Amino acid sequence: GQNIDQPTEMTATEGAIVQINCTYQTSGFNGLFWYQQHAGEAPTFLSYNVLDGLEEKGRFSSFLSRSKGYSYLLLKELQMKDSASYLCAVRENTGGFKTIFGAGTRLFVKA
Amino acid sequence: DTAVSQTPKYLVTQMGNDKSIKCEQNLGHDTMYWYKQDSKKFLKIMFSYNNKELIINETVPNRFSPKSPDKAHLNLHINSLELGDSAVYFCASSVRSGSTYEQYFGPGTRLTVT
C-alpha cells in the first residue's frame, strides 16, 4: 500500500522562499514527482527525483531522501503566479508501474 | 499544436444516462491514463493503457469502461451515471524520456451529474 502526506495549505510572501514537504510510505518506490496545478487547469510537471539529493531547475528545486521517505519542493523568489496547488506523486512498481498522487498543497502567495 | 486533448470540456447530464469522454495525444507516447479529481482535489488513477493494452485497473465500478482503439487514443465510457461520478476527469500520457516518466495532462472534462 501507499500513503502520501503533505500540508493542506501554505501562505508565503512575494519574493520569499517556501518549502513544501512531502512524506510517503510505499512499496516498490520508483521515483517521486512534483506537479503544479493552477485552479481550473491541468497538472503540469515540475520535477522528478529517483536518487537521493537535490535537483535544481531555475527557481524550483526538489529534494529526495529515500531512507526517510521524504521530499520537499523549494520555491525561491516567489511570484504571484506561483499561487497554485503543488502535488507530490510517487511512482511505484508493484507488478506494474503506477503513479500515486498526494492530496496537494495549496500555496497562496501574497503581496 | 502537440498536446493531450479531451472532449468535451464540460459535460452536464442526468443520473442514469450513459456518456463518453474522448482523449487523444499526438506526442507519440506509449502510455495513457485516466484520472478522477473529486471536489477535494484528490487526483486518483483509474486506468492505464500501454500500447493499447490495459495495465492498470484500479478499484473502479464496472460502469466505467475504457477503450483504446490505438496508441494515440483512450476513451472513457460511463454507464448509468450517478451523482458521485461528478468530478473532473483528466486524461494523461507519458513515455520514458531520459530518466523521467513525466505525465502530460489533458485540460480535463468537468462532469456534472444532476
Q: Render each residue's pLDDT in chain B as its tens digit; 114 residues.
A: 669 999 999 999 999 999 999 999 999 998 999 999 998 878 999 999 888 888 888 878 999 999 999 989 999 999 999 999 999 999 999 986 656 788 999 999 999 999
pLDDT at A64: 98
**How much of chain A is helix, strand and coil, in % rounded to 5?**
5, 65, 35
Contact B81, B113 (CB under 8 A): yes
> Which long-range CB contacts under 8 A does B65-69 form with residues at least 24 apart?
B66/B34, B68/B32
Contact A99, A90 (CB under 8 A): yes
Measure A42 CA to nearest chain B CA, in Å.
5
Is the model's pLDDT at A1 over the cut of 50?
A: no
3-state SS assignment for residue B33: strand
CB atoms within 10 A of CB A93: 13
Which residues on adjacent β-strands are paired with residue B90? B35
The C-alpha atoms of residue B23 and residue B103 are separated, in whole angstroms, by 14
Radius of gyration of chain B (CA): 14
CB of A111 less than 8 A from some CB of B = no
pLDDT at B59: 78
The verdict on a CB contact (< 8 Å) between B99 and A42 is no
pLDDT at B99: 61
The verdict on a CB contact (< 8 Å) between B105 and A42 is yes
**Main-chain phi, psi angles of B83, to 5 degrees:** -55, -40
- List of chain B residues whose C-beta atoms are within 8 Å of the C-beta of residue A85: 41
- List of chain B residues whose C-beta atoms are within 8 Å of the C-beta of residue A45: 102-104
pLDDT at B83: 96
Measure A80 CA to nearest chain B CA, in Å.
21
CB contact residues (below 8 A), chain A span 39-78, against chain B:
41-45, 48, 50
- List of chain B residues whose C-beta atoms are within 8 Å of the C-beta of residue A48: 99-102
The single residue listed with the C-alpha cell 472534462 is B109
